[in-house]
Amino acid sequence: MSSYSKLTANQVTATYSLFKFLERLRVIGHLEAHTEKAVEEGGDIFGEYIIHDFTGADYSIVKDYYSSDKRHILKTELLERMFGRLKQSLRGTT
């Protein structure tokens, strides 16, 4: 199980914001990822009981691509100098 699974929608948004913040600080390189909604298969089995998760923690973040090269960050900063900082919007996936 990945540490980026069983997340709520708010945790997914906070995680993406953290990734972008760390990228701007040049702590990490460029990361591309997508969000998947978990398919519930009946819940976890605990003894003779089936435990269903009703917390809304049913999303996972899947890494598509990572590059430690800082050229992407430099391109983003150059565009921001020319056009101003772009507002980032996080959109969900199904």
Residue 94: pLDDT over 50: no
pLDDT tens, 34-78? 999 876 665 666 777 777 667 777 889 999 999 888 777 788 788
Q: What is the pTM of this model?
A: 0.66
Q: Are 23 and 48 in contact (CB under 8 A)?
A: no
The C-alpha atoms of residue 92 and residue 47 are separated, in whole angstroms, by 35
DSSP helix/strand/coil, 81: helix
The C-alpha atoms of residue 89 and residue 77 are separated, in whole angstroms, by 17
pLDDT, position 69: 82
Which two tokens mark 6? 């069983």
Domain ranges within the chain, ordered by starting residue: 9-82
